[in-house]
Amino acid sequence: MGLFREPLQKIFSYRDRLRADGKIREFDYNRFAAWPEKKSLVLQEDTLVELGSSSGSLFLILWTGERGGALQPGRISLVGPDVGEIGAGRTPFIQIVLIQGQFEDEYETYQELRDRIFDTRPEGISTRIWPDRRKIWCRISKEAIAQGFSLIRYGNTLMKNLYSLEGVAAAEILFITGVTEEQDELRDTALKVQGIVEALIKMYEEMNFDCEDCEYNEVCAEVTTLRDIRERLRKERQLQ
């Protein structure tokens, strides 16, 4: 599955450069260190740290069917301070989730991965994600941080839930805090990912293959896999 081949290559290059510059801390997935889950509503007065906002965050999900690539199975990486190192206040936040596996349907894959991440509810944390805007916001309670909550433990929880999905063979997660410049560097890649996902959703939900008038014409022209999906759906519709 090559939907995100170009964006993935750019993210891998970005990650490797951070590693070479000594700006990244890396951890291996440990399901025994996952943070417990419980749907929580964290009020402002109970909050110690806020991650992200409508203007200071970035959230991306990318997946591939290719094996043996640059994706590092079970790796959780952190750029910037963890929540226990930030102190009180709000900080910019980036969360990038990379998946490798074998999936039969691209649209269902997107829905399942998205929903599994959305449904991950770490105890003592309020989280909102706006996939159409590529934004994420987390409010972390004083109690959760006092009890040892960290992005690495949150990453373990995400990993555990993702690995429970059929077809998922490997996952890698990258967290970035407190660095607005990183959002600027990843902006073009994020826009590319958003265009691909929106084109995919439109093809499946609208079943409209009038490419000349479609706003995603240029996206499909650049991404071979989108064109392959379009032709397959067109043929399936003709047989109905």
Domain boundary among 140, 160, 180: 180
Residue whose structure tokens are 């990183």 = 182
Q: Are residues 94 and 167 in the same domain?
A: yes
How far apart, in Å, are the Cα atoms of 206 and each of 197, 201, 203, 237? 14, 8, 6, 12
Residue 90 CB burial class (10 angstroms; 0-12, 13-18, ≥19) = middle
Residue 171: inside a domain: yes
Does residue 149 sit in the same domain as residue 200? no
Asked if residue 160 and residue 120 are part of one domain, the reply reads yes
Q: Report the pLDDT value the prediction gives residue 203, as an integer from 0 to 100.
A: 85
The pLDDT, as a whole number, for residue 34 is 97
90, 9: one domain? yes
Q: Is 13 a member of any domain?
A: yes
**Domain finish residue from 161, 180, 199:** 180
Check if the beta carbon of residue 100 is closer than 8 Å to that of residue 73: yes
Element (DSSP H or E) covering residue 201: helix 180-206
Helix, strand or coil, per DSSP, at residue 240: coil
Q: Are 110 and 223 within one domain?
A: no
The answer to whether residue 185 is domain-embedded is: no
Q: Are 135 and 26 in the same domain?
A: yes
Indicate whether 157 and 226 sit together in one domain: no
Q: Is residue 54 part of a domain?
A: yes
Q: Clarify whether residues 206 and 172 are in a common domain.
A: no
Q: What are phi and psi of 99, to 5 degrees?
A: -125, 140
pLDDT tens string 28-80: 999 999 999 999 999 999 999 999 976 688 999 999 988 878 999 999 999 99
Regarding whether 33 and 89 lie in a shared domain, the answer is: yes
Asked if residue 58 is part of any domain, the answer here is: yes
The answer on 120 and 10 residing in a single domain is: yes
Query: Which residues form the domain of 209?
Result: 191-239
Per the structure, the count of domains in the chain is: 2
Distances (CA, A) of 76 to 123, 148, 153, 193, 236: 20, 17, 9, 21, 40
Position of tokens 């972390």? 140
Dump pLDDT digits (tens) for 126-136.
999 887 778 89
In a domain, 186, yes or no: no
Please indicate, yes or no, if residue 48 is contained in any of the structural domains: yes
CB 153 within 8 A of CB 35: yes
Q: What is the pTM of this model?
A: 0.92
Give the per-residue pLDDT at 77. Answer: 97
| Residue 240 pLDDT | 62
Residues in the chain with pLDDT < 50? none
Judge if 171 and 199 occupy the same domain.
no
**Quick check: is 156 in a domain?**
yes
Cβ atoms 122, 157 nearer than 8 A? yes
* pLDDT score recorded for residue 232: 84
pLDDT score at 151: 97
CATH of the domain at 62: 3.30.1650.10
Are both 73 and 173 inside the same structural domain? yes
Of 206, 236, 219, 231, nearest to 6 by C-alpha is 219
Q: Which of 150, 180, 210 is the last residue of a domain?
A: 180
* Interatomic CA distance for residues 21 and 15, integer angstroms: 10
183 C-beta neighbours (distance < 10 Å), count: 18
